[in-house]
Amino acid sequence: MTTTTAFVDRVRRPAHLAVADLFISFFEKTIMAAILSIQNLSKQYDSGFQALKNVNLEIEEGEILALLGPNGAGKTTLISIICGLVNATSGTATVGGFDVVDEFRKARSLIGLVPQEISLEPFQTVTNALHFSRGLFGKGRDPALIEDILKKLSLWDKRDSKVVELSGGMKRRVLIAKALCHEPRVLFLDEPTAGVDVELRKEMWEVVRQLKADGVTIILTTHYIEEAEAIADRIGVIRSGELLLVEDKDLLMRRMGQRQIRIELMQPIDRIPDALASYNLEYSEEDQSLTYSYEANGERTGITALFSDLGKAGLILRDVETRQSSLEDIFVGLVEDK
């Protein structure tokens, strides 16, 4: 909510809500410190490809942020810089107040990364793989914690199996387990459910919700809008290396989302009556219905006036239904708009 962009500023806010926003922003700044802070981050690869352009982002502790964007938008590059896999060309990133380059040990010990590709040592047992990961992060063995993680991720039965013997979904769980066994405060999930069946995807979401309940901050990249809609608190939209917006999910949907009313008529009409011209209605001959679009959070939705004018125009209604645009509509609109 602290990050505002020109895009979002376009939407006018009622005065009393603006005051509430100010209060919330003050509350956030005083009480909730950002666990991840990215400033003016840019990346240009040797090939000349500009993967990130001056990205600024603050993430508060305990939230789930979904980074949405088409392939090649810069999502993975952004994560890779924070985690230490790629060097930034300019700009800084801090995790828990520690610079990811100058204080990499402190910063990285707070971070867990679940990569996009399944990259696991095939001949290790699941338990040994977890002990190895914990050790890398400078922590001694903790069998009780490992047991707890394995049970939470439904891997306990597979603890003595070699990684190579597991199914794709199980391997993905092992990746998550490995990222968790040093008890990170920030977890990056890079396309966690790419190529995963629907059932497993829903299970993954449950795992993410559980982690959030445990106080872990989660940043996930995805190009499944449904995923962001289901689990994220905030949505960031990234395209061609630019962070187009970062916004509270519900707020985003309310602000950017269009509502529509579909009005089915008893009798077909030849043309929309002149008295209704100001409503920009669309008429469909096929199902003899009128569609009225309005902004859900607008000061005046115009619904009352519309229905009154419909009556005055002598139109008899058969049915009325409303629908709200999904995050997908918003996303497609944004990406095309820019």
Partner 1 sequence: MNFYAIKSIYSFEMARFFRTLAQSLISPVLSTSLYFIVFGAAIGSRIEEVDGVSYGAFIIPGLIMLSLLTQSISNASFGIYFPKFIGSIYELHTAPVSYVEIVLGYVGAAASKSALIGLVILGTATFFVDFTILHPVAMLAFLLLTSVTFSLFGFIIGIWSKNFEQLQMVPLLVITPLVFLGGSFYSVSMLPPFWQTVTMFNPVVYLISGFRWAFFGTADVNIGLSLTMITVFMLLCLGLIGWTYKTGYKIKS
Which span (20-28, 135-143, 147-155, 322-330) binds partner 1, by CB under 8 A? 135-143
Q: How far is the CB of 182 from partner 1 (least distance, A)?
A: 8
Type of residue numbered 271: R
Length of the chain: 338
From the list 150, 208, 114, the residue with the least C-alpha distance to 200 is 208
Do residues 160 and 126 lie in contact, with contact meaning Cβ atoms separated by under 8 Å?
A: yes
- Count of residues touching partner 1 (by CB under 8 A): 35
Kindly report the backbone phi and psi dihedral angles of residue 234, in degrees, each rounded to the nearest multiple of 5, phi listed first: -130, 155
Smaller CB separation from partner 1, 131 or 239: 131
Footprint (CB under 8 A) of partner 1, residues 106-125: 106-109, 111, 113, 115, 117, 119-124
Smaller CB separation from partner 1, 55 or 263: 55
Q: How far is the CB of 47 from partner 1 (least distance, A)?
A: 9
Indicate whether 56 belongs to the interface with partner 1 (CB under 8 A). Answer: no
Exposure b/e, 265-300, CB count within 10 A at least 16 = b:
beeeeeebeeebeebebebeeeeebbebebbebeee
Tracing tokens 């306990």 back to the chain, one arrives at: 156
Q: How far is the CB of 68 from partner 1 (least distance, A)?
A: 23
CA distance linking residue 25 with residue 31, whole number of Å: 10
Footprint (CB under 8 A) of partner 1, residues 141-200: 178
- In the three-class reduction of DSSP (H, G, I as helix; E, B as strand; rest coil), residue 211 is classed as helix
Q: How far is the CB of 218 from partner 1 (least distance, A)?
A: 16
Q: Which residues pair with 50 in a beta bridge?
A: 44
- In the three-class reduction of DSSP (H, G, I as helix; E, B as strand; rest coil), residue 27 is classed as helix
Cα 8-9-14 angle, rounded to 5 deg:
105
Smaller CB separation from partner 1, 95 or 150: 95
Which span (64-72, 99-107, 298-306, 320-328) binds partner 1, by CB under 8 A? 99-107
Q: How far is the CB of 126 from partner 1 (least distance, A)?
A: 14
Indicate whether 254 belongs to the interface with partner 1 (CB under 8 A). Answer: no
Question: Which one among 140, 144, 160, 285 touches partner 1, defined by CB under 8 A?
Answer: 140
Question: Which one among 133, 217, 221, 289 touches partner 1, defined by CB under 8 A?
Answer: 133
Footprint (CB under 8 A) of partner 1, residues 9-28: none
Smaller CB separation from partner 1, 171 or 212: 171
Smaller CB separation from partner 1, 60 or 190: 190
By DSSP bridging, strand 242-248 and strand 111-114 are unpaired
Torsion angle of the four alpha carbons 223, 229, 302, 304, in this order, in degrees rounded to the nearest 10: 140
Q: How far is the CB of 150 from partner 1 (least distance, A)?
A: 18
For 162, counting Cβ atoms within 10 Å of its Cβ (0-12 exposed, 13-18 middle, 19+ buried), the class is middle
Question: Which one among 87, 213, 268, 300 touches partner 1, defined by CB under 8 A?
Answer: 87
Indicate whether 102 belongs to the interface with partner 1 (CB under 8 A). Answer: no
The binding site for partner 1 (CB under 8 A) comprises 45-46, 83-87, 104-109, 111, 113, 115, 117, 119-124, 128, 131-140, 178
